[in-house]
Amino acid sequence: MKKHPSWKNAAELIALRVETEGYGILMSEPELLKMLELEKPASGSYEEINKFQLEKLVAIESLKDVLLEECHMCLSNVHGKGYTILHPNDQVIKEPANRLKKMRTQLNKAVAVLINVNQEMLNMESQNSRNYTLGRLAFIKSSLNKRKVIPMTDKKQLEGVG
């Protein structure tokens, strides 16, 4: 029985494939588009191609969400090859690192927007808002920075030294 929207059906197909073939399966983009019941236009206007790209993006992101939340599987893009279902070990190591990297990039862009502004043109309310937001972003940035983690055994040794 076919389920709508198409990414629900695609999620079931991928889950069945993982059951038989295991994690790490590689799916080409055309294969994934077929599962999502999307057809790439052979030719068309700029608007038609843009519409298809948007539909594809929405469908793939929705598929990723369904796979993650309902099937506990992480669909990841492999540049130039297609998509793969990450093994749970890779899911907890690689994917969060990728997302944190993207967060840092966006955070740096937000800071740049606040720093690179004509401050002479800001009124008092905007200056206060800018300073407040910079403070919040600095806090977030400091909490995202990599810190050395001291293992529990070393912490106990350090406590005994003092």
Q: What is the CATH number of the domain that holds 46?
A: 1.10.10
Residue 160 has pLDDT above 80, yes or no: no
pTM value surpassing 0.75: no
Q: pLDDT at position 98, please?
A: 85
Residue 85 has pLDDT above 70, yes or no: yes
Is 1 a domain residue?
Answer: no
Mapping DSSP to helix (H, G, I), strand (E, B) and coil, where does residue 90 land? helix
Answer with the one of 67, 86, 105 that is the final residue of a domain: 86
Domain count, the chain: 2
Residue 148 has pLDDT above 90, yes or no: no
Q: Indicate whether 76 and 110 sit together in one domain.
A: no
Q: Indicate whether 43 and 82 sit together in one domain.
A: yes
pLDDT confidence bin for 66, thresholds 50/70/90 = very high
Q: Indicate whether 15 and 62 sit together in one domain.
A: yes
Answer with the one of 44, 67, 86 that is the final residue of a domain: 86
Q: Indicate whether 31 and 63 sit together in one domain.
A: yes
Is 101 a domain residue?
Answer: yes
pLDDT, one tens digit per residue, over 89-118 is 888 888 888 888 899 999 999 999 999 989
Residue 157 has pLDDT above 60, yes or no: no
Q: Indicate whether 70 and 96 sit together in one domain.
A: no
pLDDT, one tens digit per residue, over 127-140 is 999 999 999 998 88
Q: Which of 58, 69, 68, 65 is nearest to 36 (CA)?
A: 58
Say how far apart CA 94 and CA 99 lie, in whole Å. Answer: 9
Q: Indicate whether 66 and 98 sit together in one domain.
A: no
Domain that holds residue 108: 91-161
CB-based burial label for 151 (10 Å; 0-12, 13-18, 19+): exposed
Is 157 a domain residue?
Answer: yes
pLDDT confidence bin for 7, thresholds 50/70/90 = confident
Q: For all residues of the chain together, what is the average pLDDT?
A: 85
By DSSP bridging, strand 74-78 and strand 26-27 are unpaired
Answer with the one of 33, 64, 86 that is the final residue of a domain: 86
Residue 3 has pLDDT above 90, yes or no: no
Q: Indicate whether 119 and 73 sit together in one domain.
A: no
Residue 11 has pLDDT above 70, yes or no: yes
